[in-house]
Amino acid sequence: MSRFWRTGWVGLLGWIVAAGSTGWAEIREAGVWWLPRNVSHFGHEIDFMIYVILWLTGITGILVFSTMIYFIVKYRHRAGVGAIHSHGNNTLEVVWTTIPVFIFLALAIYGNEMWGRMRMQKPPADALQVAVVGEQFGWNVRYPGPDGKLGKMDSHKIGKDNPFGIDPNDPDGKDDFTTYNELVFPVGHPVQLHLGSKDVIHAFYVPEFRLYQDMVPGRVYDFVWFKADSTGHFQLACNQLCGQGHYKMFGKLSVVPEEEYQAWAKGKAPATIASSAPMPANTSVANR
Ligand code: CUA
């Protein structure tokens, strides 16, 4: 091996080891080799589905490739040995078509049922209502005040000075408070999100919640909800390439005990105007 290639391979190996152990661990709680920790009550089923598919495709892959390698060796060219002509085997074809059909049907039906429970079913009535509106490049977040009600959002009213599209005279919105790139959720309490965008397509993505939802401007998405099973500090990362600053579109997200959430919410002054207090555009959130 030439020196050039040796240096390259050693460098690549070093980079992979470093990435798996320390470098990226600052961004994610765990290493990059397996699924991140799951803290969502929906996440267990999603992970179960991933493992079922992983096992099915893994076993199938091993069977197919070992058969292929066996045939390649067994039927290799040998001088004086003629080729075998085969017109196939109908029974085999029926079997290996029918089995995958039922597997795919089962996966589709189960997945559809799961999706229905996650996105079609109404969240519990006591769910905390939180609005999150993406913009280039950060997250506007709005919480209800003591009345527990968010001001009504209208996607047509979302604009530069009114990121949530709120009517300033809406009584429900008067006691709301807003944050920028900062989200705190109470543990064990359902949270219903109201997602929107001010400019281009962003995506609400928290791997530990197994939650990913695009936010297309002109719409307010109110069907996403979840419940965090355990506390921790996470990152809300935008998952749609939304411009030059996409890479730094991070929100700090904490799941804390209910009392801690109440204390935090109390400490936030209610928004005096309908729109959030504008923040300097270059406000950056330190990566964790
Ligand atoms: Cu917003 Cu990427």
pLDDT-based confidence at residue 16 (cuts at 50, 70, 90): low
Are β-strands 211-215 and 202-206 bridged in parallel, bridged antiparallel, or unpaired? antiparallel
pTM for this predicted structure? 0.75
Q: 19 or 135: whose pLDDT is higher?
A: 135
Cα angle for residues 27, 28, 31 (degrees, 5° grid): 120
Separation of CA 213 and ligand 1 centre (Å): 12
Please work out whether the CB of residue 242 comes within 6 Å of at least one atom of ligand 1: yes
For the chain, state the CA radius of gyration.
Answer: 26
Phi, psi (degrees; rounded to nearest 5) at 166: -100, 145
Residues 141 and 47: their CA atoms lie apart, in Å, by 28
Please work out whether the CB of residue 238 comes within 6 Å of at least one atom of ligand 1: yes
Residue 211 three-state SS: strand
Residues 136 and 58: their CA atoms lie apart, in Å, by 40
Here the tokens at position 11 are: 């460098």
- The whole-number average pLDDT for the span 2-22 is 62
- Tell me, what's the pLDDT at 231? 92
Separation of CA 83 and ligand 1 centre (Å): 58
How does pLDDT run across 258-285, given as a tens digit for each residue?
999 999 988 886 655 444 444 444 444 4
Please work out whether the CB of residue 198 comes within 6 Å of at least one atom of ligand 1: no
Q: 131 Cβ partners below 8 Å, 6+ apart?
A: 140, 141, 142, 150, 153, 164, 193, 194, 195, 196
- Candidate from 24-28, 197-201, 229-233 with smallest mean pLDDT: 24-28
Q: How far is CA 227 from the centre of its chain?
A: 14
Please work out whether the CB of residue 246 comes within 6 Å of at least one atom of ligand 1: yes
Please work out whether the CB of residue 166 comes within 6 Å of at least one atom of ligand 1: no
Separation of CA 242 and ligand 1 centre (Å): 4
Quote the crossing angle between the two packed helices 43-74 and 90-115, to the nearest 10°. Answer: 160
Is the Cβ–Cβ distance between 32 and 18 less than 8 Å? no
Nearest ligand 1 atom to the CA of 243 is 2
